[in-house]
Structures are given as structure tokens and as C-alpha cells.
Amino acid sequence: MKVLTLNFLSCAVKTCKSSSDSFPLHPKEAELAKDDVEINPQLLVNVLPRIDWAALRTTSTELGFPTLPDQPPTAEELEADEKMLQELHTLLMEMQIVEGKLVCGHCGHEYAIREGIANFLLPSHLV
Amino acid sequence: MLPTPDTSHVPYARVYEPAEDSFLLLDTLSAASETGFLASRFSSSRTKVAPPPLVLEVGPGSGVVLAFLTAHAATIFGTRDILTLGVDVNRFACVATRLTVSKAVEESASTAGSFLGAVQGDLVGPVRSGAVDVLVFNPPYVPTDELPVPPAGIAEKSKTTFEEDSHLLALSYAGGRDGMETTDRLIAALPDTLSERGCAYLLLCAGNRPEEVKQRIRDFGPQWRAETVGTSGKTAGWEKLQIVRIWREPVEGDTAV
Ligand SMILES: [Zn+2]
């Protein structure tokens, strides 16, 4: 599962959906792996407005990547910044979470990730 | 004709094997009417920038449809800049989907989008509100007396018995009353799941009472549309299977969001 996926997932517990604490989920004891993906600067520039930057910043810091700036770069800034392009490419397109847990900041439920597949099925008392 | 992804590695004892319904989805999603619709919404042009859509398949099973959409992104969406994700209740289906997609992407690297991963979950439960731009669902649509109980969060093992395999397969086709019990839950979640520009492709069989289903979706509000965009297996005037496209159109004079 690409690290970028965390930008689109939230806690599966119904009563958490409306809480801002259920997004993003917090990786815990995460083991990462890196795929080799050819860089596509156009995709990175286009994907920026699609991303919740504050959430990505949280994820990036929690996984031990360099701290992202407070504000997302503009398209022009990103196109001109080779280093930023490469960093974002690695973080968004190459990094995979292989093992570990995703923790909800609202209810504390932990979703296990095993061999790259996160399990969001809830035990019956939480459905 | 775009090539159909290879699924020869998929364990069909416990994961739904691609069948007429899967192929109807491939045919419909690559037909000119749908590629035109998708490109007009999701590919950038000189006059507009369209951020990459998130394409979610619910219940991908073997992964044949999600692999097709990912591998042929440039042809189907008019752009390679798409992100794809699968959510399946069956862990074996998640593993199968991941392999099917990566094989298909390797075959068609020059037209392929970006696959995020496959997640085990119940329908759109793991997905953030408003995040999905294109949702595809080939549901368990066969009318059955009983709906199989979904696996709980604790049931996760790598070895399964024959009974457990049968149960996993039943989850992929048994739809309960009118074959609609699971589909109804998905439909109810659509307004919260789809983005403003979002759309969904839903497969229905004749036993699901498709005309009533479409009307229920239109009753969500004046922006909502539901139209049949693909059919197969016509017998005596009845389409056995059909694909319904669900989307929203801005209503004229409507300023409220
Ligand atoms: Zn929660």
C-alpha cells in the first residue's frame, strides 16, 4: 500500500467518520519498502490540489521523512524545484507500507497491515 | 479491443472468477460513450486543469476490472494521471487484485495510471468521505434466501478450510433479498462517498429491479442522474445484466452546495 493511500483513508467506525481526529490515521511500528517508479513531474504537479496537504505533512513526519513545508508549493514552485519533486515522488509514488498498524486518533482502534494489506474489517462490537 | 488482464494466478476456489458480469464492465467502461464521459470529467484540457481522479473498485475479486482501468488509463480516462484503489472483504481477493494490477501495468506501462493498493474492508468503510471520483461495483447481486455473514475483524488467517472458501465465494455473489441487500448499503453510502465530480458504475441483474433502483437514486435530489450505459444477455426483451452510471449534474440556478 502506497503511503499516499493514507490521504484517502479514514477510520471505518461510523461514529468516527464525522470527527476530524479520524483522519489521517496514524501509522505505528510501520515497516516501509521502496518501489522503483519512474518520476512523472506532471502527475506530481497535478496531484497537489487533490491532496490534503496538512494530512500528508502529518503522515510524512510520523513516518520519519523530512518535514514538509507548512503550505503546499504552487505548480510553478514545484516545477522549478528538482529536489522537492524528487522528495514528493519518493514519498507519494514509491514508498509502500508493508507491515505495521494504522491508529485512529478518535477511537484508538488499530488496523493491522500485513504484507502490504491493511485490514479494515471491524470486530462485531464496533460495527 | 484493449487486452484483458491476465488472472491465471488467481485462486478461484476462494476468489470470484471473471465472468460475464466482469466482461460487461470491461466492455462498457472502454466503450466510446464512457471513455468520452470520463475524459470530459477527468482529463485536463487547454481550458481546465483536472486533478487526477481517485478510482475505487469495491469488491474487485480477481482484480480484472481494476487492472483493466489502471493499465489502460490513458485510453479510458484520456490521461495516465489517475490513482486507483481496491477494497475487498476477502483478503485473498486483495492479494489477487494487487498481482493482477501489477502484471497488467507492466504489460501496458506506457498507458498505465498509478495503483495505490488493495485494502481489506467492508464496502467503502475505510474510505474518507467525499474522496472518490469514480466508483465501480460488481456487487453480490444474485437473489438468495440468506445473506452470508461478513467476516469479522478477527477472522484473518492464511489457510482456509473448504467451508471457509465456500463462504468467501458466497460473499462475492449472494445478494440476499432481491439480490440487493449489499448493493442497497453501497447506494446509501454514495452521497457521502463521491466527490462533487464523482460518478459510479454499478452492475445490476434483472432480478434487482433496475428501474426501481435507478429511480431511488434519482430521488436523492435534482442533481442526481442514473442511466443504463451497458447491457448484455438480452432474452425476450429483458437484459440479464446491465451497468448503471450514477452521477451528479449541476442544476441550473442552484447556488447552494
Ligand atoms: Zn475511530
Specify the pLDDT at position B23.
96
- Domain assignment present for residue B14? The answer is no
What pLDDT digit, counting tens, does each position of A82-110 carry? Answer: 999 999 999 999 999 999 999 999 999 99
> Is A78 at the interface with chain B, CB within 8 A?
no
Nearest to B95 by CA among A93, A112, A54, A116: A116
Which residues does chain B have with pLDDT short of 50? 154, 257
- CATH code where residue A80 lies: 2.20.25.10
Q: Compute φ and ψ for B39, nearest 5 degrees.
A: -65, -35
Q: Compute φ and ψ for B127, nearest 5 degrees.
A: -95, 140
Q: Which chain A residue lies closest to B85 (C-alpha atoms)?
A: A5
Share of chain A above pLDDT 70, in %: 100
Specify the pLDDT at position B257.
47
Per the structure, the complete domain to which residue A26 belongs is given by: 3-126
Say if residues B60 and B118 touch (Cβ distance below 8 Å): yes
Spatial distance between the Cα atoms of B17 and B75, rounded to a whole number of angstroms: 25
- Domain assignment present for residue B6? The answer is no
- Domain assignment present for residue B220? The answer is no
Say if the Cβ atoms of B81 and A47 lie within 8 Å: yes
What pLDDT digit, counting tens, does each position of A30-69 carry? Answer: 999 999 999 999 999 999 999 999 999 999 999 999 899 9
> Per the structure block, which three cell numbers stand in for B124?
467503502
Please give the tally of structural domains in chain B.
Answer: 1
Chains A, B: CB contacts within 8 A come to: 112
Spatial distance between the Cα atoms of B143 and B146, rounded to a whole number of angstroms: 9
Phi-psi region of B61 (alpha: psi -120 to 50; beta: other; left: phi over 0): left
Per the structure, the complete domain to which residue B116 belongs is given by: 20-197
Specify the pLDDT at position B154.
44
What pLDDT digit, counting tens, does each position of A58-84 carry? Answer: 999 999 998 999 999 999 999 999 999
- Domain assignment present for residue B254? The answer is no
What number is the ipTM of this complex? 0.96
- Domain assignment present for residue B51? The answer is yes
Please give the tally of structural domains in chain A.
Answer: 1
- Domain assignment present for residue B152? The answer is yes
> Is B150 at the interface with chain A, CB within 8 A?
yes
Instruction: Give the one of A5, A48, A120 whose C-beta lies nearest to B85's C-beta.
Output: A5
Spatial distance between the Cα atoms of B171 and B194, rounded to a whole number of angstroms: 24
Nearest to B207 by CA among B141, B145, B148, B136: B141
Specify the pLDDT at position A127.
77
- CATH code where residue B153 lies: 3.40.50
Spatial distance between the Cα atoms of B169 and B138, rounded to a whole number of angstroms: 14
Q: Which chain A residue lies closest to B52 (C-alpha atoms)?
A: A47
Residues of A in contact with B83 (CB under 8 A): 4, 8, 47, 50
Q: Which chain B residue lies closest to A42 (C-alpha atoms)?
A: B81
